[in-house]
Structure 1
Amino acid sequence: MHTQPTAPKPTSGNPQSAAHPRAVLAIVLVSYFMIVLDNSIIFTGLPQIQEAMQLTPAALSWVQDAYTLVFGGLLLLGARAGDLLCRRRVFMVGLALFGLASLLVGTAQSETWIIAARAFQGVGAAIVAPSSLSLITATFAPGRERTRAVAAYGTTAGVGASVGLVVGGALASLLSWRVGFFINVPIAITMIVLASRFLAPSRIVRGRFDVLGAITSTIGMGSLVYGIVEGGDNGWSAPGTLIPLGIGVVVLGVFVLNEWRAAQPIMPLRLFASRKRSGAAATRLLFAGAGIGFFFFTTQFLQGVYKWTPLQTGIAFLPMSLLQFGVSLFVARLTRRFGNGWLVAVGIGIVLAGLIWLAQITPDTPYLVGFAGPLALFGIGQGLCFGPLTAAGISGAPAEDAGAASGLVNTAHQLGSTLGVAALTAAGAGAATLADRVADAYTGAAVMVGVALVLTLVFILPADLAARRAAINLH
């Protein structure tokens, strides 16, 4: 498939130079916030969904897993589409699909309906998430402005996840779980209208679409995510787990071989030549896995052990959200002074301390003793490291690989989220009570974050310090 140059020629070397940078950033952040918010807002509404649809526990897990499966499987395809097609057009299509899917989720009347609609949401999210980050890298030149924009994007990922629990809890308790999905529809429509006005069309360049890469990445990632989901639900030795995992590994092997030989690959392997980017991808996978596991198990503990309502559960996360937002306001300034590496290392270290603290939880531990302190550490740590970790993941990527680099960041995050819930569920499978299962999961999450910290100290921090020294020498 070939594309022809049809878009207006940019007025400068920056493809988005004709756009209004602040408007672009606002559109991107609101759209991405909607995606992240929706990914966590469902947690506090799951009990109501189960009751309304009369879902079995396995079917209920697929309400979340169907979204994860499609999102993870299509991320690389969605990311590369923005490089070969007009980024504005791809972004708007993703928003339209996500808005329509949200309407279908909100009006769902049966098990099949809601699971299929959640999978459809994953399609839209797989387009919007990488497109939003590539729009930032295409709009803002390297330097102070891009640092601030990427920091805001990274903060949106963390704040959106925690705010989603608050919003989801409030809506589920006061109105209905359906409202959390209905609100996406006017947001998506508004963002489409604003995008058509403020986002400049990117240059459509002649290129060959990597069909084999698109097919193998989608099937391989989808099979791998499916196997991970099944492992968490049915055990890691079950045929339903091992077969898709084996298929995923084999197909992804074919994908890597194809990317090595393809003239215009969907995921250029040259992106992994950077120790910093490779380390950032692995670190993000582990950190995202621990983070989503933290939300997943904490909501269970608060509602299942403390017997709190969804609203009370959501409010419990508010201190973390406020601290994370407050700390994130200083990230751009701290990055200029200390660099991404130190902020990622310190932030992950603080989150690790919070998880070690949480692992001591028992049913008799009061909220203020067992959760308030760790939540504060989570807010501070995530506020420090999310933006810099995102920046490290796209560091040094050429403009033509902006979509692929952002796809790598989002793929690592989504795979980590899936792996985290599955692995941490397995870690607590042998526990006798819910409280013990949650404590075991926190211990497993602490191990994951500990490994992420080691990766940061080995790959990200040294590369960042070397780059800063080189920049100083040039001046």
Structure 2
Amino acid sequence: MSDQTEQPHRHKDHSLTVILFVIATAQLMVVLDASIVNIALPSMQRELHFSSASLEWVINAYALAFGGLLLLGGRLRDLYGRKKLFVIGIVIFTLASFSGGLATSQLWLISARVVQGIGGAIASPAALSLVTDNFPEGKPRAKAMGVYAAMSGAGAALGLLLGGILTDFGSWRWVMFVNVPIGVVLSIVASKVLHKSDTKTGGLDLPGAISVTLAATLLVYGLSHASTSGWRSTVTEVTLASSVVLWIAFFFIESRSTHALVPLRILANRNRSGALALMLSIGASLFGMFFFLTLFIQDFLRYSPLKAGFAFLPVSIAIVVAAGATSQLVTRFGPRVFLLVGPFVAAIGLVLLTRITPSSTYLTGVLGPMLVLAIGAGMTFVPLTLTAVAGVAKTDGGVASAVLNTTQQIGGSIGLAVLVTVSRTAAANKVTSLVHRAIASSPTHSISALTQAALVSKATISGFDAAFWASAIIAILGFVVVVVFIRVKRDDLDLEGATLPL
């Protein structure tokens, strides 16, 4: 008798283990893809002839599509079922990864990254909901949520290392191809083991999703175009003006829609609005740090992709350790003190990065400032998430967390566009000044190709330094937001309703 009762129990445990493996692996694949490409950027730039301005689109194409459609993905999940949307999202992501690995042009690769972001935006909200659908309350669900959160946290670190290994021993194409076998297995297994979920009735806020995604995309494009063609360019002016119009249209649509992606009542709370503004600054700082330091470490320090991946590993460790320590302390001291200290510490790290020169080494110029920035960011994430969901109605808890994730992705994209524009402008001005000075001081009024290359390198580093200064200012603005807007107290926290940013 006992054998008969234990057998179904063992079968159920086995089924839940497979389900958890599917959900956690899918989340890892989506989160990992945001960082795995960073290490491969210099290789992509050389093979597909990206300029420094167009290279940012390899990152921003994914982030804008993922962030812009994440809320819509959550709504689709509720209307058409978690399992169905999860499998569809994984299939789209997998096909886009395969296409991206075959890319022979910039447009091809960037388009594939957009489709990857769409697939991720569909699969990721469904993955989190599948945990609650398939695991009963209590220890099973708590364990599953712990594994899910661990995959989200480990994704960045694993992405950097895996990106280095694949690019070093294969090519940049394998950072795309690696998703294909994983995605195929996941989609097949998921269709067999996941339980179907109930669906809801209602409508889709397609106008809201389209307007916010286009508004962010046009803003990023306008900023990027300004770095190459100037602020008075007709394309720059029209693009930025169109972005402003679309942002206004988005908020107008949300105020009238019965199925709004972002119910404006969520933004009425000053603590939550302040938290979202702070996430914009932290997202911009981290996107910028990874982008510029990846180029510096591989192009100037001449690190291989694998060595560069290991060079960034301390950042991921510092963020995880700082976030873990803060999560233990925030219930005692409240979130505001960490929201004040975190951005300020991050700004100090960014200021220290402005001291990088062409002769800097990893140990003397990069590691220390990078760790300071990582500790500041890690101190901020947990209290920021708790503040964003503090006091929100239970029916809006999921939306508040999703808006925070969306803000991180879109804010990072916009911030990176601003920083690349600052960097390119500063570098162009610097190289013009250096070349004119060198020619004027030369007896022959000319300079050799070798001298010109050295001046370009020096100007490029000057551009990086300018970007780090701008990023530090953005972090300080986040600090100011906390001082002015955020008044959350320890008693206001919802310690069970928050999920950390993706």
Matched, 1:434 2:460: yes
Contact 1:25–1:149 at 8 Å: present in 2 too? yes
Question: Following the alignment from structure 2 to structure 1, what is the Cα–Cα distance between the partners of residues 355 and 296?
Answer: 13
State the match for 2:470 in structure 1: 444
RMSD: 3.7
Alignment of 1:56-67 (within 5 A): 60-67=55-62
CA distance change for structure 1 residues 22 and 171 in 2, over 3 Å: closer, same or farther?
A: same
- Which is greater in Rg? 2
Q: 272, 279, 300: which is aligned to 1:284?
A: 279
Q: 273, 297, 302: which is aligned to 2:297?
A: 302
Question: Following the alignment from structure 1 to structure 2, what is the Cα–Cα distance between the partners of residues 196 and 343?
Answer: 43
Q: Displacement of 1:302 after TM fit? A: 1.7
Question: Following the alignment from structure 1 to structure 2, what is the Cα–Cα distance between the partners of residues 304 and 177?
Answer: 15
Matched, 1:261 2:287: no
CA distance change for structure 1 residues 233 and 288 in 2, over 3 Å: closer, same or farther?
A: farther
CA distance change for structure 1 residues 52 and 136 in 2, over 3 Å: closer, same or farther?
A: same
Question: Following the alignment from structure 2 to structure 1, what is the Cα–Cα distance between the partners of residues 482 and 25?
Answer: 29
Matched, 1:333 2:328: yes
State the match for 2:65 in structure 1: 70
Kindly provide the CA deviation profile for residues 72-118 of structure 1, in whole angstroms up to 9, marking residues without a partner as x. 44334223323433234323322221111111111223444323212
> What letter is aligned with 2:301?
Y
Question: Following the alignment from structure 2 to structure 1, what is the Cα–Cα distance between the partners of residues 366 and 80?
Answer: 47
CA distance change for structure 1 residues 364 and 209 in 2, over 3 Å: closer, same or farther?
A: closer
Contact 1:151–1:388 at 8 Å: present in 2 too? no
Kindly provide the CA deviation profile for residues 377-400 of structure 1, in whole angstroms up to 9, marking residues without a partner as x. 233333333244234334444454
Question: Following the alignment from structure 1 to structure 2, what is the Cα–Cα distance between the partners of residues 242 and 29?
Answer: 44
Q: Displacement of 1:292 after TM fit? A: 0.6
Q: Displacement of 1:289 after TM fit? A: 0.5
Q: Displacement of 1:412 after TM fit? A: 0.9
Greater relative contact order: 1 or 2 (C-alpha under 8 angstroms, separation 6 or more)? 1
CA distance change for structure 1 residues 60 and 211 in 2, over 3 Å: closer, same or farther?
A: closer
CA distance change for structure 1 residues 193 and 385 in 2, over 3 Å: closer, same or farther?
A: farther
| TM-score, scaled relative to structure 2 | 0.77
Question: Following the alignment from structure 2 to structure 1, what is the Cα–Cα distance between the partners of residues 98 and 89?
Answer: 14
CA distance change for structure 1 residues 73 and 286 in 2, over 3 Å: closer, same or farther?
A: same
Question: Following the alignment from structure 1 to structure 2, what is the Cα–Cα distance between the partners of residues 178 and 228?
Answer: 28
3-state SS of paired residue (2:259): coil
Contact 1:228–1:422 at 8 Å: present in 2 too? yes
State the match for 1:216 in structure 2: 211
Kindly provide the CA deviation profile for residues 376-426 of structure 1, in whole angstroms up to 9, marking residues without a partner as x. 223333333324423433444445445533431222112211122211122
Contact 2:387–2:488 at 8 Å: present in 1 too? no
CA distance change for structure 1 residues 129 and 371 in 2, over 3 Å: closer, same or farther?
A: same
> What letter is aligned with 1:453?
F
Matched, 1:464 2:459: no
Kindly provide the CA deviation profile for residues 243-276 of structure 1, in whole angstroms up to 9, marking residues without a partner as x. 2222222123222222212222222111112223
Question: Following the alignment from structure 2 to structure 1, what is the Cα–Cα distance between the partners of residues 396 and 80?
Answer: 13
Matched, 1:113 2:108: yes
Contact 1:82–1:131 at 8 Å: present in 2 too? yes
State the match for 1:43 in structure 2: 38
CA distance change for structure 1 residues 345 and 434 in 2, over 3 Å: closer, same or farther?
A: same
3-state SS of paired residue (2:254): helix
CA distance change for structure 1 residues 200 and 390 in 2, over 3 Å: closer, same or farther?
A: farther
Q: 85, 88, 97: which is aligned to 1:90?
A: 85
Bigger drift between 363-372 and 285-294 goes to: 363-372
Question: Following the alignment from structure 2 to structure 1, what is the Cα–Cα distance between the partners of residues 83 and 463?
Answer: 45
Query: Gaps spanning 5+ residues in structure 2: where?
Result: 1-14, 431-458, 495-502
Kindly provide the CA deviation profile for residues 334-383 of structure 1, in whole angstroms up to 9, marking residues without a partner as x. 34434444444433333222112222222233322222212222333333
Question: Following the alignment from structure 2 to structure 1, what is the Cα–Cα distance between the partners of residues 342 and 18?
Answer: 29
Kindly provide the CA deviation profile for residues 281-316 of structure 1, in whole angstroms up to 9, marking residues without a partner as x. 111111101111011111122223323222222221
Q: Displacement of 1:147 after TM fit? A: 10
> What letter is aligned with 1:382?
A
Q: 460, 481, 495: which is aligned to 1:455?
A: 481
State the match for 1:5 in structure 2: none
CA distance change for structure 1 residues 468 and 288 in 2, over 3 Å: closer, same or farther?
A: closer
CA distance change for structure 1 residues 365 and 211 in 2, over 3 Å: closer, same or farther?
A: closer
Kindly provide the CA deviation profile for residues 188-211 of structure 1, in whole angstroms up to 9, marking residues without a partner as x. 344445655675544322213334
Alignment of 1:74-473 (within 5 A): 74-132=69-127, 159-192=154-187, 195-196=190-191, 200-401=195-396, 404-428=399-423, 429-431=425-427, 432=430, 433-460=459-486, 462-465=487-490, 467=492
CA distance change for structure 1 residues 70 and 159 in 2, over 3 Å: closer, same or farther?
A: same
CA distance change for structure 1 residues 404 and 137 in 2, over 3 Å: closer, same or farther?
A: farther
Query: Gaps spanning 5+ residues in structure 1: where?
Result: 1-19, 470-475
Bigger drift between 249-258 and 451-460 goes to: 451-460
Q: Displacement of 1:446 after TM fit? A: 0.9
State the match for 2:454 in structure 1: none
Contact 1:79–1:406 at 8 Å: present in 2 too? no
Question: Following the alignment from structure 1 to structure 2, what is the Cα–Cα distance between the partners of residues 341 and 145?
Answer: 33
3-state SS of paired residue (1:426): helix
3-state SS of paired residue (2:69): helix
3-state SS of paired residue (1:346): helix
CA distance change for structure 1 residues 426 and 260 in 2, over 3 Å: closer, same or farther?
A: same
Question: Following the alignment from structure 1 to structure 2, what is the Cα–Cα distance between the partners of residues 378 and 56?
Answer: 27
Contact 2:22–2:189 at 8 Å: present in 1 too? yes
Contact 2:98–2:180 at 8 Å: present in 1 too? yes
Q: Displacement of 1:225 after TM fit? A: 3.6
Question: Following the alignment from structure 1 to structure 2, what is the Cα–Cα distance between the partners of residues 234 and 225?
Answer: 14
Q: Displacement of 1:327 after TM fit? A: 3.9
Question: Following the alignment from structure 2 to structure 1, what is the Cα–Cα distance between the partners of residues 151 and 341?
Answer: 19
Question: Following the alignment from structure 1 to structure 2, what is the Cα–Cα distance between the partners of residues 358 and 463?
Answer: 32
